[in-house]
Amino acid sequence: MDRKKIEKELNNQLNKEFYSSYLYMAMSAYCESISLPGFAHWMKSQAQEELFHAMKFYDYIIERGLKVDLLKIDQPEKEWESPVNIFEEVLKHEQCITESINNLVSVVEEEKDYATRIFLDWFVSEQVEEEASADAVLQKLKLTGGQGSALFMIDKELSTRVFTPPVTNE
């Protein structure tokens, strides 16, 4: 097993998880700026969840005796065309994270790092939920046209989201 390769790949994923949190905070700020506090709240909750994911990677890297390498976090976009466009971007981003996790699984399988493979199972399942959650909101926005009173009803619904860190076996 190439421990340096595993370390590099885990740190790359750690960076992607931190970027995800940063992206959702940028989306939250944008939603606040267009007077959609429920959307902003949903994005803040999502940012917390992504930070939780990042910290799972951080802790795992340390637990395995590897070195954490905090890479530069790219600046996310600041503006979007519409709430529909925001959730299109959320879904697209989550699909990219799913692909990244799947690629990481392939690397650790190739390296016969079975402990990391087991660790990543949680993320594989989590990404199914992440994509479904984003797509559910996107489909409601598309169904209603993402405008008028329906937009404000969705905004109210999104304000009820609460991030509760999942219980894990760690």
Summarised one tens digit per residue, pLDDT across range 66-104 is 999 999 999 999 999 999 999 999 999 999 999 999 999
Euclidean distance between CA atoms 153 and 149, whole angstroms: 6
Q: Is residue 163 included in any domain, yes or no?
A: no
- Report pLDDT digits (tens) over 51-68: 999 999 999 999 999 999
In which domain, by residue range, is 94 found?
Answer: 3-158
Asked if the structure places residue 19 within a domain, the reply is yes
* pLDDT of 169 higher than 60: no
**Residue 105 falls inside a structural domain:** yes
165 assigned to some structural domain: no
**Would you state the pLDDT for residue 18?**
98
Q: How confident is the model at residue 167 (pLDDT cuts 50, 70, 90)?
A: confident
Residues 15-32 have a mean pLDDT of 98
pLDDT, tens only, 109-159: 999 999 999 999 999 999 999 999 999 999 999 999 988 999 999 999 999
The long-range contacts involving 46-49, CB below 8 angstroms and separated by at least 24 positions, are 46/90, 46/163, 47/20, 47/21, 47/22, 48/21, 48/163, 49/163
| Chain segment 156-165, per-residue pLDDT in tens | 999 999 988 8
Does residue 166 sit within a domain?
A: no
How far apart are the C-alpha atoms of 134 and 141, rounded to whole Å? Answer: 11
Query: Rounded distance, CA 94 to CA 84, Å?
Result: 15
What CATH number corresponds to the domain at position 148? 1.20.1260.10
For the chain, the domain total comes to: 1
Q: pTM for the complete prediction?
A: 0.94
Mean pLDDT of 29-39: 98
Residue 12 pLDDT grade (very low, low, confident, very high; cuts 50, 70, 90)? very high
pLDDT for res 14: 98
- Confirm whether 145 is domain-assigned: yes
